[in-house]
Amino acid sequence: MSYRQLNIINLEIEPYQKIWDFQKKLHQLRLGNLIDDTFILLEHPHTYTLGKSANENHLLADDRSLNENRIDVFEIDRGGDITYHGPGQIVGYPIIKLDELYEDVHKYLRELEEIIIRTLDEYNIKSERNDDYTGVWINNNKIAAIGIKVSRWITMHGFAFNVNTDLSYFDKIIPCGIFEKGVTSLSAELGTKIPLKNVKDVVIKHFCKIFNYDSIKHFSSMDEFNNEFHSIEFEGA
């Protein structure tokens, strides 16, 4: 296998639309081999996203409640149903050329799950897959949701890993359209909050191991990434 370089764009809280547009731009750049594989890590403000198979009835909040709580809602092009993004949750968006590794979307989903499972192992928390539902689970509760899009073997979207997440926002939806199960977070399992930076570092370590990267280039802002590729104009950067 050839030498594998990864760009990591490590952000704080960014609006959903801005990052969705950024993903689309990165997808085109990766397709044209203008950038290496790129992994965005960040938080979003309070947001509900509905995937391609979402049932609108799984959004329980009415417009008034959404406005009062300043929750944005987006219908997007990933797989899956409805989920929540918000502060304290690590969201990871890999923009990678999957066919350089393999042409198997199901394997890719399992490897995203494995990244979270290994991360939780480092906090002495046993988690697992569920035979019926994508994601990472602790008993009957989901701790990480996964929804992706793969177009021309370039990936978009990714995972949402509850670390210090306010889980009450899941009360306003049927998470992932699953009625009979709940949600949890790393802080709920440990009984204390964990610095997000520490957890991100563990996620990055396992991401690089699982996808076999030889070197990493770190960026702490979209502007910094844009300056590296100064001939390319990024919308919203």
> Which residues are designated catalytic?
176
How far is residue 22's CA from residue 214's CA, in Å, rounded to a whole number? 25
Q: Kindly state the DSSP code that residue 175 receives in the 8-state scheme.
A: G
Cβ-count burial 84-111 (b if 16+ within 10 Å, e if not):
bbbebbbbbbbbbbbeebeeeeeebbeb
**H or E, element range at 207:** helix 196-210
How many residues are given for the chain? Answer: 237
DSSP string, 125-174: ---B--SSSSSEEETTEEEEEEEEEEETTEEEEEEEEESS--GGGGGGB-
